[in-house]
Amino acid sequence: MSNYSSIPTQFLELTAHHSSYVAIDTKTTLKGSALGKVVFISGASQGIGQATAIAFAQAGAKAIYITARSEKGLQETKVKIENENQDTQCAYKIADVTDAEQVKTAVEDCVAKFGGIDIADVNAGTSGIWDKKIGDSDIESWWQTWKINVKGAYIMVRFVIPHLIKSAKENKGGYLIFLSSIGAQLVMPGASDYQISKHAINRLCEFVNAEYTEEGVKCFAIHPGGVLTKLAANMPEEFHSSLIDTPELAAGFIVWLCSGRGDWAKGRYLSSNWDVDELVQMKDKIIGEDLLVNRLRTSA
């Protein structure tokens, strides 16, 4: 395999960040941007999901509802949220994103406790070990990656979308964030289950945008940066030295998107590494040329 840093990434030529910076700082620039908002986050027991929950607390969220399969991790995240902002309410429920009934119950519990959902962050995901070609792969393991990454995302959308529509109509929110990956744009032998599933996530984002944009929902698929999470540890060790980004980078970027500053880019794949001020400067080009979406190239 090639070194991760040498693979063409289809990135925009913008200043790349690897940790939080002024424009997405939830303690300063974005402080108060989430006031009154109810945030629902899956996969919030660790890593990027946990960092995102903390970031929304720093930005003043009214309430944060967190789900994952680990109760211990959820309890730790809840304590971190409460320590960060005592005015932010927090509740959690153990839920597997592939179990429709568990997700439905969690969504209903969130609405019952906090009155609605203004922002939904689909953070839960997984990856198999990148060591086998498709013909040598384990069928159940390969499909399990799809069940969590794609079916789990679909189930989340299925149950949060009515509440996001209601929030959008009330001018409170209506934001839906999918955690995608740079892998969605790559073809790396051994990573077919993960990279194809993330490519499908980008397309799911486009469908949500096509079907619900007139009802005010703003959907984004984001690359969270190269973060050495437990999931990323399944990548070959030769790539680990390239995973230099902090979880707070993606967390701040997500809060920035949900502040309304990036509404014009809804329905697209975006990278947390991109400088947001430079990204905004490209607004007309991105919209005019319909960039950052999955399309076939039909000309040189």
**Residue recorded with tokens 């799809």:** 146
> 12: Cβ–Cβ under 8 A, 6 or more apart, which residues?
271, 274, 279, 282, 292
Catalytic residue among 4, 65, 92, 194: 194
Strands 269-271 and 63-68: unpaired
Q: Indicate the burial class of 199 (C-beta count within 10 angstroms; 0-12, 13-18, 19 or more).
A: buried
Tell me whether residue 21 is one of the annotated catalytic residues. no
Closest to 248 measured CA to CA, from 113, 112, 80: 80
Q: What are phi and psi of 207, to 5 degrees?
A: -70, -40
Distance in angstroms (rounded) separating the CA atoms of residues 279 and 187: 26
Q: Which helix (H) or strand (E) segment is 222 a member of?
A: strand 218-223
Which two tokens mark 247? 């979880």
* Catalytic position from the list 37, 198, 218, 266: 198
**Paired residues of 43 in beta bridges:** none
Beginning with the edge strand found earlier in the chain, give each strand of the sheet holding 89-94 in spatial order.
89-94, 63-68, 38-42, 119-122, 175-179, 218-223, 269-271
- The answer to whether 31 is a known catalytic residue is no
Angstrom distance (rounded) from CA 122 to CA 120: 6
Cβ(92)–Cβ(63) below 8 Å? no
**Taking a C-beta distance cutoff of 8 angstroms, is the pair 117, 111 a contact?**
yes
Catalytic positions, written as ranges: 194, 198
